[in-house]
Amino acid sequence: MVKSQICDIVGIKYPIFQGAMAWISDAELAAAVSSAGGLGIIAAGSAPAYYVSEQIRKAKTLTDKPFGVNIMLMSPHAEEIAKVVAEEKVAVVTTGAGNPSKYMAQWTEAGITVIPVVASTGLAKMSAKLGAAAIIAEGCEAGGHIGELTTMALVPQVCDVVDIPVIAAGGIADGRGMAAAYMLGAAGVQIGTRFLVAKECNIHQNYKDKVISARDIDTIATGKRLGHPVRSLKTAFSRDIFSKEYDSSVTNEELESIGVGALRLAVEEGDTKKGCFLAGQVAGLIKKEQTAGEIIEEIIKEAEDILGRR
Ligand code: TUI
């Protein structure tokens, strides 16, 4: 059985979280995942607080199941969004791209289940001490902003330093990945890239097509020189940034400015030249569009078949 203590903590049927994806995971995708028994998560990304309020209210009309909101801590609006989630009494808050310590008391006092995304054991320990209900340990196979360690190396090390459930993220797209995560000590998984091709995912068709046609070696991590590596599909845009990172005549300011607006161009316009298509290394495993419910049921069945054979 893949059911674990995280299902009771969060109030979900299956221990599958939908990874928050900036500009992508809106109320519709989150509600579809939650209605299908997983935990849908609205991504605040770098959007203003009013957008996040709107999405929370919309999700409440679309599902009666619990859902979460992810706060990207590098966002200039993080402080304001931290208040919004408390006011709206969102069931679950996940955080990413930073240290959530200064918000922990505010959220736990509001009765929110707080589950930080970490890329190291240090932040996992600190978050557990401050009242996190669980930890999402995300390896660098993931799409978007990433840390140094792989999921295989990170998850068991995080499991060894906290006594709350650990959710594995990064490099998981099917039941084999889920079963492997359980072998490492995880009590659930977070999956982003596979939900890009969910029928309820409102991204440009070009984005879905690029994920479906991606091969194993078609993602690249750029931004290392700036200290915040980001994994995306190889495109003219990402290859250009990658080469500029090794060009000493290009300043850091110039590098920073190249990325501005590129996520929106990928998601809304499907711009295959100037867009930045965030995706994890598992894109090569993804072959077709399915509903969120079909994706979840398939992964659970595969994982249970494998784990039942132990
Ligand atoms: O947050 C993510 N993935 C993201 S956020 C995002 S939006 C964005 N847009 C432009 C530039 C950068 C981001 C796209 N993808 N994943 C969770 C994650 N968190 N991965 C790694 C971390 C992390 C890194 C350092 C968490 C904490 C951390 O702590 C630093 C500290 O201060 O201790």
Q: Write down the pLDDT at residue 310.
A: 67
d(CA 92, CA 179): 24
What is the Cα Rg of the chain in Å? 18
Containing 55, the helix (H) or strand (E) segment is helix 49-62
Say how many Å lie between the CA of residue 310 and the centre of ligand 1: 35
Alpha carbons 210 and 196: distance in angstroms, whole number: 10
Among protein residues, the one with the nearest Cα to ligand 1's atom 24 is 97
CA distances from 281 to 105, 141, 146, 232, 266 (A): 35, 5, 12, 9, 18
Three-point CA angle 300, 141, 283, nearest 5°: 65
Closest approach atom of ligand 1 to CA 45: 7
Whether the model pTM is above 0.85: yes
Q: Whose CA is nearest to atom 11 of ligand 1?
A: 145
- Coil, strand or helix at 141: coil
Ligand 1 centroid – CA 1 distance (Å): 31
| pLDDT, position 130 | 97
> How far, in Å, is the centroid of ligand 1 from the Cα of 115?
14
128 secondary structure, DSSP code = H
- DSSP-derived letter for residue 250 is S
Distances (CA, A) of 227 to 70, 147, 170, 206, 307: 22, 10, 19, 29, 39
- Ligand 1 touching residue 187 (CB < 6 A): no
How would you class 283 by CB atoms within 10 Å of its CB: exposed for 0-12, middle for 13-18, buried for 19 or more?
A: buried
| Cα distance between residue 197 and residue 211, in whole Å | 8
Ramachandran quadrant class, 145 (left: phi over 0; alpha: psi -120 to 50; beta: rest): beta
Beta bridge partners of 42: 69
Identify the pLDDT of residue 269: 98
CA 205, distance to chain mean position in Å, is: 20
Ligand 1 pocket check for 91: Cβ under 6 Å = no
Q: How far is the CA of 74 from the centre of ligand 1 (A)?
A: 8
Q: Whose CA is nearest to atom 30 of ligand 1?
A: 98
By DSSP bridging, strand 144-145 and strand 188-191 are: unpaired
Cβ of 98 less than 6 Å from ligand 1: yes
Q: For residue 145, report the distance from its CA to the centre of ligand 1, in Å.
A: 5
Dihedral over alpha carbons 16, 143, 159, 112 (to 10 degrees): -60
Mutate to test the pocket of ligand 1, among 102, 118, 145 (most ligand atoms within 8 A of CB): 145
Q: Is the CB of 146 under 6 A from ligand 1?
A: yes
Strands 67-72 and 92-96: parallel
Q: What is the pLDDT of residue 259?
A: 79
Per-residue tens of pLDDT for the chain, all 310 residues: 899 999 999 999 999 999 999 999 999 999 999 999 999 999 999 999 999 999 999 999 999 999 999 999 999 999 999 999 999 999 999 999 999 999 999 999 999 999 999 999 999 999 999 999 999 999 999 999 999 999 999 999 999 999 999 999 999 999 999 999 999 999 999 999 999 999 999 999 999 999 999 999 999 999 999 999 999 999 999 999 999 999 999 999 988 888 789 999 999 999 999 999 999 999 999 999 999 999 999 999 999 999 997 6
Which ligand 1 atom minimizes the distance to the CA of 144? 15
163 by Cβ neighbours in 10 Å (0-12 / 13-18 / 19+) ranks as exposed
